[in-house]
Amino acid sequence: MKRWIPFVLAVAGTAIAAALLVNIFEKKQEAKNPFFRVVELDDNTDDPAVWGKNFPLQYDSYKRTVDQARTRYGGSEAIPHVRTAKDQRDVVTQSKIEEDPRLKRMWLGYPFSVDFREERGHAYMLVDQQNTKRVTEFKQPGACLNCHASSYVAMKKAGGGDVVKGFGALNAQPYAEAVQAVKHPVSCIDCHEPKTMQLRITRPAFVEGMRALKGAAYDVNTMAGAQEMRSYVCAQCHVEYYFKGPEKRLTFPWHKGLKVDNIYDYYAEVKHKDFEHKETGASALKAQHPEFELWSQGVHARSGVSCADCHMPPKLCTDGDAGHLSDRRRVGA
């Protein structure tokens, strides 16, 4: 009987080793397909509904950005609107310049003195821009689309495959012309690589802004950490900016730093002004939406907390799949 013990142990060891190798092989195969593919996505798929076939939970949260309700964390109210020739919306949000008429005088001579409403979710970002009086009653450049449309594919096409070249081309076009190249508000492809789903930066303005801040050798897509990217993808749009020169190149003014004094010093150096006040004749600046700059100087950034940790928190579903709540302002939810 004892003669069989080594043989049995050898067989058992072989079986265990084989099972381990099979398991390793299976895991490697799973790693090649980290999600269930219903459709194939490529670097030109900008329709979020197509991405939604592979990621129904995430797409569901994306679609919920149509919600309009005030919460303790922000939000807006849905106000009925009668369509006009220049504004085809049935619903809008409250007017900030009507709520606080001082803004009209403060911005006199600037398009914001004519139309400035409470923001809505990502689902509305393109249609709201197309219909604001700041666009319909004033000449605006295609640069405005960088943060209101899924413009990555449009930039690639405009540049013949070169995103940076296309970025420059679309910036300089009149808005009415450039808007014809886009179809959707900011979409999945603007922040995710379609094969691996890794976060990535697609906006040349942010790439150039980070190089101005960190040095010409800095490549955000290869040098930034995973947690940094969870804020950087948001910072492609949620920043202070201006349109540089006659080519209207979208520029993030971080050449001297991210603090308001740094940005003011840069603007003074390059002699930039947003507008000339119609009543006083004074050169004036208006901060746009510098959320990234403010975050960078706060306790959250120092503690390693990203934008996505609070504004797009993981949502574990009953089947174990982890989606995320998109642009819902669900801080603390």
Q: Which CATH number does the domain housing residue 242 bear?
A: 1.10.1130.10
Asked if 78 and 93 count as a contact pair (C-beta separation under 8 A), the reply is: yes
3 pLDDT higher than 90: no
330 pLDDT higher than 70: no
- Mean model confidence pLDDT for the chain: 89
Residue 301 lies inside a defined structural domain of this protein? yes
| pTM of this structure | 0.85
In angstroms, the first-to-last Cα distance of the chain is 65
Residue 19 lies inside a defined structural domain of this protein? no
pLDDT digits (tens, 9 = 90+) for 270-287: 999 999 999 999 999 999
Looking at residue 36, what is its pLDDT?
Answer: 77
Nearest to 326 by CA among 201, 316, 313: 313
- What is the number of domains present in the chain? 1
**Parent domain of 45:** 41-324
Residue 104 lies inside a defined structural domain of this protein? yes
Residue 27 lies inside a defined structural domain of this protein? no
Task: Give the H or E element holding residue 323.
Answer: strand 322-324
Cβ neighbours of residue 93 under 8 Å, at least 6 residues apart? 68, 76, 77, 78, 79, 117, 118, 119, 120
Residue 9 lies inside a defined structural domain of this protein? no
48 pLDDT higher than 50: yes
Residue 187 lies inside a defined structural domain of this protein? yes
Task: Give the H or E element holding residue 301.
Answer: helix 299-302
**Backbone phi, then psi, for 188, in 5-degree steps?**
-60, -40
Q: Quick one: average pLDDT of 226-255?
A: 97
Q: Which two tokens stand for residue 145?
A: 């689309």
pLDDT digits (tens, 9 = 90+) for 301-321: 999 999 999 988 776 554 445
Q: CA torsion, points 233, 234, 238, 240, in degrees to nearest 10?
A: -30
331 pLDDT higher than 50: no
pLDDT range class, residue 332, cuts 50, 70, 90:
very low
167 pLDDT higher than 70: yes
Residue 285 lies inside a defined structural domain of this protein? yes
Residue 62 lies inside a defined structural domain of this protein? yes
